[in-house]
Amino acid sequence: MEAEDVQGFPSIKTFTEVAEAGVSSPRFMTLCSWLVSELRTLCRLEEDVSPVQGPEDAETFQIEISGLLGELHCPYPSLTTGDVMARLSTRDHCLQLLYFLSSELLAARLQARKTLQSAKQGDRNNQALRELHQICQTLGMPEPDPASSVAQVMEDIGSQVSEALAAQGPEPHWMAPLLKAPLTSEQWKALDEINQVLGTEYQCRRHMMLTRFDVTVASFHWSERAKNQSTAMSEAFQPLRKSLPEDSQLRLSHLLAAREDFSRIVKTSSGALRSKTSCAVNKVLMTGSVPDRGGRPNEIEAPMPTWEKRREGGGGGGGQRWAKRGKKKKK
């Protein structure tokens, strides 16, 4: 069976056609070998079925299949008892083998998917537990008792928050929340999915910016003057670089904590903002001989890759042919 025939899961019609050819058919042996290889990617199996080249591999194939069926605890006596070379002598036995291998593969795929979903759910639970501990730590509360219910823990947190708000006085010193509308569980789930999609997008962008950052810093080491300071530069740069995570740090808890002023878009050049960000350096006027900032690619002496010139008479002579045509036209 060709590779394109087994990219997806084979159909019952395909099984029937392949089983008709019998165990000596390379198509039958190749399909069984593919099912086993897919199964081995999901299960830890010691036995394996080698790829076959032709009918001459039928004997080796049946011996390897016998060992594999024993490891998988195949429940069909017709495939596990009797002469090894006679177990797949009929069409029904061949079809039974295909059904057994395919059912094992389907079960392994379902189990792997279930395990992956459980792992993701476990990560979310651990994240919620970490945030719950951070809330208790911020409010000065003891760590929640594992035996307590979620409702009881949230009630204790609510009481502590109410006490903290009452201690601030009658007039609040904070702005109203940005999110005022109550959301249902389905809406929170949809919002979490949107946040994950946006987090993946911004993680890609952040990775690109950090890669540019790394390349820029690496270019500082090219000059002869910087080689003597390479160790000191790395020691100063690496702690800062490690403090820049590539994954998104925004969670739904940040949405709940956002205030109304988060929705106000202020230009960086506005007077209100510049009054807080301006400093004495902004007022320095450089006159006379201004230092050269460089940045001209033709003057950079860097370990750029080199390419050898093409040999005369070799490939890639398209440019030469076009040049000859141009000379003929001029004549």
- List of residues 6+ apart from 101 with CB closer than 8 A: 32, 35, 36, 39
| pLDDT mean over 291-318 | 60
User: Is residue 49 packed enough to be buried (19+ CB in 10 Å), middle (13-18) or exposed (0-12)?
Assistant: buried
Spatial separation of the C-alpha atoms in residues 257 and 179, rounded to whole Å: 9
Dig out the tokens for 41 from the structure: 């990617």
95-108 mean pLDDT: 89
Pick from 128, 137, 131, 180: nearest CA to 160? 137
Residue for token digits 């000596």? Answer: 24
Cα angle 210, 214, 218 (rounded to 5 degrees) comes to 170
Q: Would you give the DSSP letter of residue 280?
A: G
Q: What distance in Å separates the CA atoms of residue 129 and residue 147, rounded to the nearest whole number?
A: 14
Give mean pLDDT, residues 209-238: 85
- Please give the pLDDT value at position 190: 92
What is the structure's pLDDT at 7? 44
**pLDDT for residue 8 is more than 70:** no
- As a whole number of angstroms, the distance between CA 37 and CA 43 comes to 10
Lowest-pLDDT choice from 80-84, 108-112, 142-146: 142-146
Q: What's the confidence (pLDDT) of residue 25? A: 86
Domain boundaries defined on the chain: 12-116, 128-167, 185-276
Give the contacts of 214 (CB within 8 A, at least 6 positions apart).
Answer: 241
Structure tokens at 171: 């007039």
Q: Which of 87-91, 121-125, 159-163 has the lowest mean pLDDT?
A: 121-125
